[in-house]
């Protein structure tokens, strides 16, 4: 996150504040793992698997080395490989499409809904071919994709749905948690995610026992029992230190989620109080029926203001990030797919216009006031867009 050593007035993310608050719980469990000298898989990992599965309301959790591997292992367990197409969004972290590519399958992109930045469920059917096998909706920034229509179209065409829930642990859709909405799901416990380890970690959750067993085998080179290999997997084991840390943090997840939501509400209030309304800046939309967990609080300003706002906030020492500056269909490595600018206009516009403000449970009101007044300072100097509400300047 903060690669620079320069201190921020408000950082994009403050993991030290989180650690300070739970140090007394974390340090002893790390010590206990060290004393046990049991570092790979084992009881801490199976404990975390059971707890995350229960949290998501599914029967099985299979820990692995990262969220990227959780996606790759899931696709391998589903038999995705050369000749197969997998539908997903081009506006996501690279791993979503990278994992598809790594199996030898072809990522097929479907544009996003501009309000939620999630895959547009109404456009999925048009992208289905006889080679389509899987749909990967991403619950971007902490808000679930429109899962009912996605499951409906999957059912109609006999497809499997793999949730990329890396940014959305604890989020729900129509009262049901992510991780239990599709056929299987991939979580990341990268440190900046809402439930983050002290390093890389990930998990696959599913109700399907055969898929869970397959993922569990693939993460240990396809081995079962020891030294008998029926298929070729790879090494994606989860280590006990990460699991022990994550089990402590999972107990705090609900309260951290509530604090993220309070911070999001407070941003909305502060923007409103500052008179920074919709013709100047677009705030995140929480769909009815969705419980957003705000891994990111992403605002939107018209191009070319975004890049100037970014520079202004850097000068104010406000930590921000651009998720994501280049949509995946325009990444150099995916040139063989033959896409060009204009293919997915909503994703391309989002890549030009969005910016993530500081967001973490410990974010104070004072810090948020500073962030909003810094944004306001910049926006008030901008010419109003002609499509605005027509207020007198
Ligand atoms: C973080 C993330 C991943 C990958 O997780 P890692 O643990 O970093 O490998 C995949 N998809 C999305 C949407 C993510 O945000």
What pLDDT, on the 0 to 100 scale, is given for residue 383?
A: 67
**Helix, coil or strand: residue 309:** helix
Whether 183 and 292 share a structural domain: no
Contact 357/247 with Cβ under 8 angstroms? no
Tell me what percent of the residues of the chain surpass a pLDDT of 70: 96
Cα of 65 from ligand 1 centre, angstroms: 11
Give the count of beta carbons closer than 10 Å to the beta carbon of residue 209: 10
Whether 117 and 187 share a structural domain: yes
Q: pLDDT tens digits for 50-69?
A: 999 999 999 999 999 999 99
What pLDDT, on the 0 to 100 scale, is given for residue 133?
A: 98
Whether 322 and 371 share a structural domain: yes
What pLDDT, on the 0 to 100 scale, is given for residue 2?
A: 45
Whether 303 and 241 share a structural domain: no
Whether 234 and 333 share a structural domain: no
Q: Inform me whether the pLDDT recorded for 384 exceeds 80.
A: no
Cα torsion for 246, 248, 254, 257, to the nearest 10°?
-50
Tell me what percent of the residues of the chain surpass a pLDDT of 90: 92
- CATH code for the domain of 118: 3.40.640.10
Whether 214 and 284 share a structural domain: no
Cα of 318 from ligand 1 centre, angstroms: 24
C-alpha to C-alpha distances, 253 to 169, 196, 249, 256, 328, nearest whole angstrom? 9, 10, 6, 5, 31
What pLDDT, on the 0 to 100 scale, is given for residue 390?
A: 35
Whether 147 and 133 share a structural domain: yes
Q: Is 305 in the pocket of ligand 1 (CB under 6 A)?
A: no
Residue 213 lies in a domain: yes
Cα of 178 from ligand 1 centre, angstroms: 15
Q: Where are the beta strands (DSSP E) in 236-309?
A: 290-291, 297-300
Q: Inform me whether the pLDDT recorded for 217 exceeds 60.
A: yes
Q: Where are the beta strands (DSSP E) in 156-239?
A: 160-164, 172-173, 176-177, 184-188, 202-206
Of 204, 226, 250, the residue at which a domain comes to its end is: 250
Whether 31 and 142 share a structural domain: yes
Whether 115 and 191 share a structural domain: yes
Q: Which numbered atom of ligand 1 lies nearest the CA of 68?
A: 9
Residue 387 lies in a domain: no
Buried b (16+ CB within 10 A) or exposed e, 356-382: bbbbbbbbeeebbebbbebbbebbeee
Q: Is 188 in the pocket of ligand 1 (CB under 6 A)?
A: yes
Cα of 228 from ligand 1 centre, angstroms: 31
Q: Is 72 in the pocket of ligand 1 (CB under 6 A)?
A: no
Residue 393 lies in a domain: no
Specify the DSSP element, H or E, that contains 247: helix 240-250
Residue 246 lies in a domain: yes
What pLDDT, on the 0 to 100 scale, is given for residue 230?
A: 86
Whether 166 and 184 share a structural domain: yes
Q: Is 160 in the pocket of ligand 1 (CB under 6 A)?
A: no
What pLDDT, on the 0 to 100 scale, is given for residue 382?
A: 76
Whether 331 and 198 share a structural domain: no
What pLDDT, on the 0 to 100 scale, is given for residue 7?
A: 74
Q: Inform me whether the pLDDT recorded for 106 exceeds 80.
A: yes
Whether 291 and 166 share a structural domain: no
- CATH code for the domain of 296: 3.90.1150.10
Per-residue confidence band for 8, with pLDDT thresholds at 50, 70 and 90: confident
What pLDDT, on the 0 to 100 scale, is given for residue 387?
A: 44
Q: pLDDT tens digits for 159-209?
A: 999 999 999 999 999 999 999 999 999 999 999 999 999 999 999 999 999
Average pLDDT over residues 326-352: 98
What pLDDT, on the 0 to 100 scale, is given for residue 6?
A: 54
Q: Is 92 in the pocket of ligand 1 (CB under 6 A)?
A: yes
CA Rg value for the chain = 21
Of 250, 272, 293, the residue at which a domain comes to its end is: 250
Q: Which numbered atom of ligand 1 lies nearest the CA of 140?
A: 13
Cα of 84 from ligand 1 centre, angstroms: 22
Cα of 227 from ligand 1 centre, angstroms: 31
Write out the residue range of the structural domain in which residue 73 sits: 17-250
Average pLDDT over residues 100-124: 98
What pLDDT, on the 0 to 100 scale, is given for residue 196?
A: 98
Q: Is 321 in the pocket of ligand 1 (CB under 6 A)?
A: no
**Helix, coil or strand: residue 179:** coil
Average pLDDT over residues 11-39: 97
Residue 192 lies in a domain: yes
Q: pLDDT tens digits for 278-309?
A: 778 999 999 999 999 999 999 999 888 999 99
280 or 335, which is more confident: 335
Q: Is 236 in the pocket of ligand 1 (CB under 6 A)?
A: no
Of 209, 228, 250, the residue at which a domain comes to its end is: 250
Q: Is 95 in the pocket of ligand 1 (CB under 6 A)?
A: yes
Cα separation, 113 vs 115, whole angstroms: 6
Contact 329/344 with Cβ under 8 angstroms? yes
Average pLDDT, the chain: 95
Average pLDDT over residues 85-113: 98
Residue 265 lies in a domain: yes
Number of structural domains (the chain) is: 2
Average pLDDT over residues 369-380: 95
Cα separation, 262 vs 40, whole angstroms: 37
Report the residue among 95, 165, 195 best suited for mutation to probe ligand 1: largest number of ligand atoms under 8 A from its CB.
95
Per-residue confidence band for 381, with pLDDT thresholds at 50, 70 and 90: confident
Residue 311 lies in a domain: yes
Per-residue confidence band for 83, with pLDDT thresholds at 50, 70 and 90: very high
Residue 239 lies in a domain: yes
C-alpha to C-alpha distances, 341 to 34, 150, 266, 329, 331, nearest whole angstrom? 52, 26, 37, 9, 11
Report the residue among 96, 186, 246, 322 best suited for mutation to probe ligand 1: largest number of ligand atoms under 8 A from its CB.
96
Cα separation, 253 vs 194, whole angstroms: 8
Cα of 385 from ligand 1 centre, angstroms: 35
Cα of 154 from ligand 1 centre, angstroms: 23
Cα separation, 196 vs 202, whole angstroms: 9
Q: pLDDT tens digits for 223-257?
A: 999 999 989 999 999 999 999 999 999 999 999 99
Q: Is 185 in the pocket of ligand 1 (CB under 6 A)?
A: no
Q: Inform me whether the pLDDT recorded for 1 exceeds 70.
A: no
Nearest CA to ligand 1 atom 10: 95
What pLDDT, on the 0 to 100 scale, is given for residue 389?
A: 40
Q: pLDDT tens digits for 248-277?
A: 999 999 999 999 999 999 999 999 999 997
């Amino acid at each position: 996150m903060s690669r620079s050593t320069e201190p921020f007035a408000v950082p994009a993310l403050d993991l030290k504040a989180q650690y300070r608050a739970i140090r007394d719980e974390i340090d002893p469990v790390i010590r206990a793992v060290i004393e046990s000298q049991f570092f790979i898989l084992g009881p801490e990992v199976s404990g975390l698997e059971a707890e995350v599965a229960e949290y998501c309301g599914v029967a099985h959790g299979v820990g692995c080395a990262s969220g990227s591997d959780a996606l790759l292992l899931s696709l391998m367990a589903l038999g995705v490989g050369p000749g197969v197409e997998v539908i997903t969004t081009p506006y996501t972290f690279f791993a979503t499409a990278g994992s598809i590519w790594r199996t030898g399958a072809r990522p097929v992109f479907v544009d996003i809904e501009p309000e939620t930045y999630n895959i547009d469920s109404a456009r999925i059917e048009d992208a289905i071919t006889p080679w389509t096998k899987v749909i990967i909706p991403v619950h971007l920034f902490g808000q679930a994709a429109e899962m009912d229509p996605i499951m409906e179209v999957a059912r109609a065409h006999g497809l499997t749905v793999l949730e990329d829930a890396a940014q959305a642990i604890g989020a729900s859709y129509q009262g049901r948690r992510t991780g239990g909405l599709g056929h299987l799901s991939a979580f990341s416990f990268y440190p900046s995610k809402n439930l983050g380890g002290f390093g890389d970690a990930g998990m696959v959750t599913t109700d399907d026992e055969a898929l869970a067993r397959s993922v569990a085998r693939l993460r240990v080179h396809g081995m079962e029992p020891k030294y008998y290999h029926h298929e070729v997997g790879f090494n994606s084991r989860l280590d006990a230190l990460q699991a022990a840390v994550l089990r402590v943090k999972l107990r705090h997840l609900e309260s951290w989620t509530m604090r993220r939501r309070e911070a999001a509400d407070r941003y909305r209030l502060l923007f409103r109080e500052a008179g920074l309304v919709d013709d100047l800046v677009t705030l995140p939309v929480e769909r009815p029926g969705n419980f957003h967990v705000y891994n990111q609080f992403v605002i939107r300003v018209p191009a070319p203001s975004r890049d100037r706002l970014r520079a202004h906030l850097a000068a104010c020492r406000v930590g921000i990030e651009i998720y994501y500056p280049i949509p995946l269909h325009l990444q150099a490595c995916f040139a063989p797919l033959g896409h060009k600018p204009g293919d997915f206009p909503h994703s391309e516009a989002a890549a030009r216009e969005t910016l993530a403000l500081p967001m973490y449970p410990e974010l104070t009101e004072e810090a948020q006031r500073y962030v909003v007044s810094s944004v306001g300072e910049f926006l008030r100097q901008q010419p109003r867009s002609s499509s605005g509400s027509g207020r007198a300047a």
